[in-house]
Structure 1
Amino acid sequence: MKTGPHSRVALVTGGATVVFRELVDETLMPKFLTALQDHGFSTLLLQCGVYHDQVLAKLASREPDNLTIEVFDFDPDLKGRMRICRGEANLQPAGVVISHAGTGTIADCAEVQVAQIIVANPNLMDNHQHEFAQSMARDHASLVHGRLGSLHEAIPEALAVIKSLGLDSLEPYQEPVFPLRDEDRLTLIDQVIAHGV
């Protein structure tokens, strides 16, 4: 994988068991791949679960270019792959994680301080993720609401987020230390009082 001072990494997580095929397929489209390259990305990491073999077959006919694509089906340490997209001062510019609008993935990206493009999966329970994705992107500066059919347009938006939040020049990542000290703990009672719930 190409990484270094001038290369950005995009991680697409399409799911390991229930695959968001439309998302994976769109990230293989020439328009999307060109947008990545035009905006300084050198590597695309693509998690596609049980769709793995079909994706490899699609990539077999791909014209060579300056974008490295690594396809994998499952990684028990997906958060570790997200950290590859994390920018660090004088080491690597920030990349982006592209995923469905799921709370677990959003939380993991927030923890490692990575910009994220969230895409509603229209196949899940009456497209319930659409409104959630809109709301989350509106309320959280590190999130961009991407849309199927025009996902390439979210790449410059993600770069604007990276710039505005200074994600290219973060300090090295450190895993949280557990258990937390008593004075650093936030209890349910504290949350209820703080939010007046």
Structure 2
Amino acid sequence: MSAQYKKVFITVGTTRFDLLCDYIVTEPVLTALKNIGCKEITFQIGNSNAEPGVFEKNNVKINMYRFKDSILEDIKNADLVISHAGAGSCLESLEANKPLLVVVNEDLMDNHQLELAEQLQIDSHLYYCTCDTIISTLNMVDFTLLNPFPKADPSLFVNYLDSVFKVGKVD
């Protein structure tokens, strides 16, 4: 794998994802991240049990914080984004053209996040995994094979509205 992912941004959004927060700072996960070039992690931990702070572990600098008004700057500064499967976090990362690994929170009931992650992986926009498979996923996937997420096209919505309102018109 030739690409280096020195700066990794991780986000759990506004929710709690204690398992991901715990897994990321374990030596096996940090080793897998180091194997793809990681030297620095910025980690938005939301309401999880992890404590905010800056520290180094396994020769990786880690900066954990709860919330900011916007995570867009952290996304833009990252070489790789690891995110929970929230639609907002996923779309923000994909629109910034960042390689994305989504970690699905299996503890959520009615897991629509899994459906979103599955479809975006089928479309080759991201890879997804669970906390249990994050190490094997990091060791196996090639982020350079992902397809860029298509730019938003507002004309599609306008054209749709035009077609809806023209159907009922009588000339």
Q: What is the TM-score when the length of structure 1 is the normalising length?
A: 0.67
Contact 2:45 2:66 in 1 (8 A): yes
Note the C-alpha offset of 1:27.
Answer: 0.9
Q: Does 1:55 align with 2:51?
A: yes
Counterpart of 2:159 in structure 1 is: 190
Note the C-alpha offset of 1:132.
Answer: 2.8
Q: Percent identity?
A: 24
Q: How does 1:113-124 map to 2 (within 5 A)?
A: 113-124=97-108
**Aligned partner (choices 49, 71, 81) of residue 74 of structure 2:** 81
Q: How many residues align?
A: 157
Q: Which runs of 4+ in 1 moved over 6 A?
A: none
**Aligned partner (choices 153, 164, 169) of residue 145 of structure 2:** 164
Contact 1:15 1:49 in 2 (8 A): yes
Note the C-alpha offset of 1:142.
Answer: 3.1
**Aligned partner (choices 110, 119, 127) of residue 126 of structure 1:** 110
1:23 to 1:38, Cα distance in 2 relative to 1, 3 A: same
Note the C-alpha offset of 1:123.
Answer: 2.8
Q: What is the TM-score when the length of structure 2 is the normalising length?
A: 0.76
Structure with max Cα Rg: 2
Counterpart of 2:7 in structure 1 is: 9
Partners of 1:51 and 1:109 in 2: CA distance = 21
RMSD between aligned residues: 3.0
Give structure 1 stretches of 5+ with no counterpart.
1-5, 86-94, 168-175, 177-183
Partners of 2:132 and 2:11 in 1: CA distance = 17
Counterpart of 1:180 in structure 2 is: none
